Amino acid sequence: ELPLGGVLLRGGALDALPEAAALPRIEVVSVDGVVDGATLTLDGTDVRLLGVDAPFGEDCFAGQAARRLERLAGDEVLVEQGD
C-alpha cells in the first residue's frame, strides 16, 4: 500500500485516483482606470480587488493608495475567468 494524495493504492488501482482539477481560464484585460486604492476599471466595469483594504474617498492616504494601484496595475492585468 502506498499513500498518494490521501488515496491508498493497492495492486496498481489507479482508477481510485481523483480527476485532476480543471485549470483556471486566465485572460489579459485592459485597465481603463483606477477608481480608488482597491478598485480598477477593466473593460468598462469596476472591479473591486478581493482582500485589499485600502483607504478611499476622503480617507487619509486615499490618493496615495490609488496612485500606487495605478503603478502596480499598469495598462493590462491578468484576470481569472470564473464559471
pLDDT tens-digit map of 3-38? 445 445 555 555 555 677 677 889 999 999 999 999
Position 20 scores a pLDDT of 72
3-state SS class at 68: helix
User: Which of 65, 41, 64 has its CA nearest to residue 54?
Assistant: 65
Integer Cα distance of 14 and 20 in angstroms: 13
The confidence band for 54, taking pLDDT boundaries of 50, 70 and 90, is very high
Integer Cα distance of 71 and 65 in angstroms: 10
Is residue 34 within 8 Å of residue 7, measured between CB atoms? no
- Where is pLDDT greater, at 5 or 41? 41
Which of 15-24, 56-65, 71-80 is the least confident region? 15-24
